[in-house]
Amino acid sequence: MTDPKPVSLSHTDAGAGAPLLILHGLFGSKRNWGAIAKHLSAHRRVICLDLRNHGESPWDDEMTYPALAGDVARFIHDHGLGKADVIGHSMGGKAAMALALAHPELVGKLAVVDIAPAPSPGTFIHYVEALNAMDLSQVTSRKEADALLAPTEANPGIRAFLLQNLESGNNGFSWRVNLSALAGAMEDLLDWPEMPHGHSYVGPTLFLAGGASDYIAPHHHGEIKRLFPAAHIEVMPGIGHWAHAEAPELFLNHVTRFLGI
């Protein structure tokens, strides 16, 4: 199998100092992290990336964790960052773990937000199908799009998050996320590539788990410690999967303490 061809990632860049990369989750984008990045950029150079098939980054049929990690490795090389600290949430957390394991020389400190190096519970394919089923030629407002999505997702906050991918232009609405690629890759995105014994990232690592989420569970701790022997696992009680959005101050307390800022 040939190595995946990397794509050039869209990004925001603010602040000064040692670089800190932020990798969003599935259906997310760099702009979801604006408030967190603004706070951190008072202390560090903070770079938020749009991963492939998301936001303003290029679309590509290949959507695997080696491909995602390869894109970030290329970004670090192309921008002369040397070694960067990395925060990754959910899908972005798995991409960050894959990057650290494949290219440990590029990663300083690693913070993984509510995801384990293991297959993830549930699936998001119903969201992909619901968004794909919308006839955007007939949609004239975000309110209409929200109504179309409501039978699939009752939570208005999650609908609003998904519909951040809806873009308005001269020719009407379109998606900023590559739904076809996500549909084809959903099994890979929910999975985690098997890592051989003896393969690990020994740098400082934080796993930040939502106490009301099941993405990092006690049975994952052994594999976390095997692959990331310096890892600390911290739990945010009562917080769900989107910790940075649900409890930003608490999230920042954990992250800034870990980063030493």
Domain boundaries, the chain: 11-120+191-259, 125-183
CATH number of 11-120+191-259: 3.40.50.1820
Confidence class of residue 2 from pLDDT cuts 50, 70 and 90?
low
Average pLDDT of every residue of the chain: 95
Enumerate the H helices of the chain as residue ranges. 34-40, 65-78, 91-102, 125-133, 142-149, 156-163, 179-190, 221-227, 243-246, 248-259
Question: Using a CB cutoff of 8 Å and minimum separation of 24, what contacts does 50-53 make?
Answer: 50/9, 50/10, 50/11, 50/24, 51/9, 51/23, 51/24, 51/91, 51/92, 51/95, 52/7, 52/9, 53/177, 53/178, 53/181, 53/182
Alpha-carbon gap, residue 6 to 190, rounded angstroms? 21
The token pair that represents 181 in the structure block: 């690629």
Instruction: Give which of 214, 223, 235 is closest to 121, Cα–Cα.
Output: 214
Give the model confidence (pLDDT) of 133-158 as tens digits: 999 999 999 999 999 999 999 999 99
Q: How many CB atoms lie within 10 A of CB 16?
A: 11
Inform me whether the pLDDT recorded for 1 exceeds 50.
no
pTM of the model as a whole: 0.95
